[in-house]
C-alpha cells in the first residue's frame, strides 16, 4: 500500500501551530491577525468556501470580516470596497472569492489588491517575487502541496516532476516552486497541459506527478510509473446513488488504479483541498507579522 498523504491531518497540525503563535502574539501585546473576505453574489459553492475560511479564522484566533455584495454590484463599486480595505490598517489580509460575475474583470480586481494584503498570492507583485525566489505570499494550493511534500519528507532533489495543468492558480506556480533551488524543489520540471502531445508517455516518466487539469479521473494507472509520488489537485462531484447524499467526490486521478502503483498519493477528498485554507491562514499570519514585505 502507498503512503496516504493526509491533507486533512496536516492542515489541522498547521492550524494548531498558527493558533499557538496567535496566542503568543496576544500575550506579547501584539496585533491579532485580521483577514477580510469579499463575497459577490449567492453562489452556493462560494458561500461554502468563504464560510469555511471564516470558521477557520475563529479556530486559530484570527479576527475576520466578511463583506457580502449583491450579484448586481458594479465593477467600480467593488473596486472601491477593495480600496477601502487596502487603506484599513487593522486588516492584514484580503481575499476576493472567485468566480466573480461576468461583468466584473477579475484582472482589474486582483490588480487593485495591495500586494502586502494579497494573501491569495495572485497579484503580479507576489507572482513575480515567488518566481525570483524572494519572500512572497505563495498561492494557497501550490503552497499547500509544497508543505505536504515537506512534512511527508518526500525526496525531490534531482527528481523528474511532471505537472499536468498550466493554470495561474496551480499548475504554473507549482512548476516554478518545484524547480527552485531549495527543498522541496531542485526538480527537473516538465509542465504539460491539454494540448501536450504524448501526454501519457510524458506522465509515465515522472517521479513526482502533480495533476491539476480539471478532468475527472484523467490519469489512469498506465500513465504512472511504479513508485511515483502522485498529487491529485482535482475535485469533482459525481452522482452516486449508493451514497446517502446522492453523490461522491473524485479527483483528476483514478485513485483505485493509480494507488496500486504509487509510493505515495493524496486522496480526494482529504488530500490537497484542506491544505488550501491552512495555507491562506499561514499567509495571513505572515502579513500580520510583516514577514514578507517588511
Residues designated catalytic: 53, 97, 120
Alpha-carbon distance 177 to 106, whole Å? 24
Residues 6+ apart with CB under 8 A from 138: 121, 126, 130, 146, 173, 177, 279, 283
Is 167 labelled a binding residue?
Answer: yes
The grid coordinates listed for 213 are 487539469
Is 237 labelled a binding residue?
Answer: no
Is 154 labelled a binding residue?
Answer: no
Bridge partners for 239 per DSSP: 247
Q: Are 189 and 205 in contact (CB under 8 A)?
A: no
Alpha-carbon distance 217 to 227, whole Å? 19
Angle at 88 between CA 280 and CA 38, to 5 degrees: 50
Is 169 labelled a binding residue?
Answer: no
The closest alpha carbon to 189, from 178, 200, 204, belongs to: 178
Other beta carbons within 10 angstroms of residue 44's beta carbon come to: 7
Binding site residue list? 165-167, 235
Task: Write out the binding residues for NADP(+).
Answer: 165-167, 235
Amino acid at each position: 500500500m502507498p503512503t496516504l498523504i493526509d491533507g486533512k491531518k496536516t492542515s489541522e497540525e498547521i492550524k494548531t501551530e498558527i493558533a499557538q503563535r496567535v496566542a503568543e502574539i496576544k500575550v506579547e501585546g501584539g496585533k491579532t491577525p485580521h483577514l477580510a473576505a469579499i463575497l459577490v453574489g449567492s453562489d452556493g459553492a462560494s458561500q461554502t468556501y468563504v464560510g469555511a475560511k471564516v470558521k477557520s479564522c475563529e479556530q486559530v484566533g484570527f479576527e475576520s470580516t466578511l463583506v457580502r455584495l449583491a450579484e448586481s454590484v458594479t465593477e467600480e463599486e467593488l473596486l472601491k470596497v477593495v480600496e477601502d480595505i487596502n487603506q484599513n490598517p487593522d486588516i492584514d489580509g484580503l481575499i476576493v472569492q472567485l468566480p466573480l460575475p461576468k461583468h466584473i474583470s477579475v484582472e482589474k480586481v486582483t490588480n487593485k489588491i495591495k500586494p502586502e494584503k494579497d494573501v491569495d498570492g495572485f497579484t503580479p507583485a507576489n507572482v513575480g517575487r515567488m518566481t525570483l525566489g524572494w519572500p512572497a505570499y505563495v498561492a494557497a494550493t501550490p503552497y499547500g502541496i509544497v508543505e505536504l511534500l515537506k512534512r511527508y519528507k518526500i525526496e525531490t532533489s534531482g527528481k523528474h516532476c511532471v505537472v499536468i495543468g498550466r493554470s495561474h492558480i496551480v499548475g504554473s506556480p507549482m512548476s516554478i516552486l518545484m524547480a527552485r533551488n531549495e527543498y522541496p524543489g531542485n526538480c527537473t520540471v516538465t509542465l504539460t497541459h491539454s494540448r501536450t502531445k504524448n501526454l501519457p508517455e510524458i506522465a509515465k516518466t515522472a517521479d513526482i506527478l502533480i495533476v491539476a487539469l480539471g478532468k475527472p479521473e484523467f490519469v489512469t494507472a498506465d500513465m504512472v510509473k511504479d513508485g511515483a509520488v502522485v498529487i491529485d489537485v482535482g475535485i469533482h462531484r459525481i452522482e452516486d446513488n449508493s451514497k446517502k447524499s446522492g453523490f461522491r467526490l473524485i479527483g483528476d486521478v483514478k485513485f483505485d488504479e493509480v494507488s496500486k502503483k504509487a509510493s505515495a498519493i493524496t486522496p480526494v477528498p482529504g488530500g490537497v483541498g484542506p491544505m488550501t485554507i491552512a495555507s491562506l491562514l499561514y499567509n495571513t499570519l505572515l502579513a500580520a507579522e510583516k514577514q514578507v514585505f517588511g
